[in-house]
Amino acid sequence: MNIVLIGFMGAGKTTVGRMVAGRMGYVFIDMDEEIERAAGLSVNTIFEKYGEASFRGREAELTARLAAGDRQVVSCGGGWALNPGNVAMRGASSRLVYLRANPESILKRTEGSSRPLLNVGDRAERVVSLLKSRTPVYASVADLIVDTDELTPEEVSERILEEAETWAT
């Protein structure tokens, strides 16, 4: 089984993914970090130098590689689930967990970070408009949805671990 964490920037995918992988004895993979390592460039630089489409291509290539693996917890970038090809490729035994967060939590958790899509004058407006288009997509592909606003990363992880016990391994 693979556990794939999806959701908006700042939802806690990386923090929670690392915890869940540790508890399950699975390998943890952060897709953004993996893409950065392979390219020898930061996500920001990939966006600046080659554009978003190039980043999305790298994301899809990595998805194809990971789909063959097992016992992985994969933390996806916030745009991953928007590409139906990625979702289709994810592998039969993968479970998609959507970490849901409201705009307030997202703004707080992404404060001071340098994500290319939030590098705009009005971050709040950008977050609200991106969330509006993305939320239905995240929800429609998810096997499990966890509301993270009132929970600590430990509590979110517990929720996923409980559910994972009911999933075939």
* Residue 95: φ, ψ to 5°: -110, 130
Nearer CB in complex with ligand S3P: 25/40: 40
* Cα–Cα distance, 99 to 145 (Å, whole number): 6
Q: Applying CB under 6 A, does 43 fall inside the site for ligand S3P?
A: yes
Nearer CB in complex with ligand S3P: 54/93: 54
Q: Applying CB under 6 A, does 127 fall inside the site for ligand S3P?
A: no
Q: SS3 breakdown of the chain: % helix, strand, coil, rounded to 5?
A: 55, 15, 30
* Cα–Cα distance, 129 to 103 (Å, whole number): 10
DSSP-derived letter for residue 41 is: S
Find the binding residues for ligand S3P in span 59-98 (CB under 6 A): 77-79
Q: Which of 2, 26, 32, 100 binds ligand S3P (CB under 6 A)?
A: 32
* Cβ-proximal residue to ligand S3P, closest one: 77
Binding site for ligand S3P (CB under 6 A): 9, 13, 32, 43, 77-79, 115-117
